[in-house]
Each structure stands twice: as C-alpha cells, then as structure tokens.
Amino acid sequence: MAGDTPELTRLLLTRYSLAKDRSVKLDKGTEFSAQINPADVSHNFSISYNENKAQGAAYVEPKFSASDNEELSFSITLDGTGVVPLTPGLAPDVKGQLAQLNKVVYEYVDLKCEPPYVRVLWGTLIFFGRMKTMDTQYTLFKPGGDVLRAKIKLTFVGAMSTDKDSKVTLRSSTASTTRTVTVKAGDSLGALCDDVYGDCTAFMKVARYNGLTDFRNIPPGTVLKFPPVEA
C-alpha cells in the first residue's frame, strides 16, 4: 500500500559450525542482533602476486601467487541509555551487551580451542567467516563512570571450504611445478585445466605437452602432465 514503510531489518551475527560434508549448521541459540545498523560496510577482495625482480631488471611482470581471503568490516553501536529500543534478548546495559557479542564472535569453541565461525547477515549481504579484529571505543559514560554507549568496529576474514581452499593451493603450487593427473571417466581436458590452473583455455598447451592427438577423447586411466605456467 502507498505510504507503507519497509520493515527494519537488523544486522544479525550467528555462530555456525561445519559438518563433515562442509555444510553449514547455524547455532540459532548463539546470535547477536544489532540495535543500530552500520552506517557503512567494507567488503575487500585481494590477490597476491610474485613480483621478485632479477638484479638490474627495470620491470617484472606480476605472477599470480594466491587469492587472499575476503575481509568484511563494519561498526555497530551498543547503547545502554534506554533511548534506543533493545532487540529481543539483548542485555539492557553495555557491559552485558558486550559479553553477549563476545560469546558469538570471540569466545573459543569448546574442545576445538579455536575461534568460532560466524555468519554475518543483513538484507542481501551474507558473509561466512571468523573475526579478525574487534576494536571497542567507549563514547558515553554515567557520572560514576559506568559505560552508556560503545562503538564496536569488527573485521571478519572469510572462511573457505576445504574444496575451494585446496583448489587455490593447487593453482598456486602449479605455478612452479609440474603436476600429474590421472583421467577419470567423464573428465574433460578443459575442466582439468580449470581445476589445475584456474583457466580452461590452457587445454591446447597441455595437449601439446602430452602429445595428445585427440584431446576430446582421452581414455580413463591416462596420466597427464600439467607443466608450470611459465612452461
């Protein structure tokens, strides 16, 4: 209807764990919903290159080394003045709110002795990772020194699945070494090149390197050599 205002969606932090098949299992009992949504969010992607120069060289072509993990940064405000409505289950004071936030993003997982996985959800934004840094700035106090408001800057680093991480590592290592792959039924040379190099168009180079006369019909069991990217 005309004049209707959209329902407020609050940024939600939820602990999760990974099953053996790498599927995500959310812990709905360990969540933190922001009172005040971030004013801005920074989502960073980066790639590392090998730029070592030979002595006397004026220029070197950057060589792909690895894809770095994504990072997500934003700030939220904890308020204990009573002016800002509390979200369900949130402590009324900043000290209690900070303890609840720590339980979601910082406290180590029992038995594993490692920081938790956290899902960040806000509107169309969804991010899976682990907290990298948490900076707390206290901005308002009672006359006796009790904290009434705090600004929390959080940075999360993306958590890769085992499958994705192994492919990134494989592509990085293949940059300087020759790797062998045994062809399985259903494999195509283009798909294998995509797994090894991250580039399916390298199939002609690999075909020539292995002396293949018909790269479209490679019998299962064939052992192929994938040369370094510089070869």
Same domain flag for 138 and 196: no
Same domain flag for 86 and 143: yes
Would you state the pLDDT for residue 149?
Answer: 96
Same domain flag for 24 and 62: yes
Tell me the C-alpha distance between 30 and 61, whole Å.
Answer: 48
Average pLDDT over residues 160-184: 60
3-state helix, strand, coil in the chain (%, to 5): 20, 35, 45
Residue 3 resides in a domain: no
Would you state the pLDDT for residue 190?
Answer: 83
Same domain flag for 126 and 154: yes
174 CA to centre of own chain: 23
Residue 5 resides in a domain: no
Would you state the pLDDT for residue 98?
Answer: 96
Residue 26 resides in a domain: yes
Would you state the pLDDT for residue 161?
Answer: 47
Same domain flag for 202 and 128: no
Residue 213 structural domain: 163-226
Same domain flag for 125 and 168: no
Q: How confident is the model at residue 178 (pLDDT cuts 50, 70, 90)?
A: confident
Q: What does residue 164 show for φ and ψ, rounded to 5 degrees?
A: -65, -40
Q: How confident is the model at residue 160 (pLDDT cuts 50, 70, 90)?
A: low
Question: How many residues comprise the chain?
Answer: 231
Would you state the pLDDT for residue 202?
Answer: 81
202 three-state secondary structure: helix
Would you state the pLDDT for residue 231?
Answer: 45
Residue 222 resides in a domain: yes
Same domain flag for 66 and 132: yes
Evaluate if residue 50 carries a pLDDT over 70: yes
Q: Taking a C-beta distance cutoff of 8 angstroms, is the pair 136, 188 a contact?
A: no
Q: How far is CA 165 from CA 35, 63, 168, 170, 183, in A?
A: 35, 19, 5, 8, 22
Same domain flag for 148 and 114: yes
Residue 1 resides in a domain: no
Tokens in use for 13? Answer: 């932090």
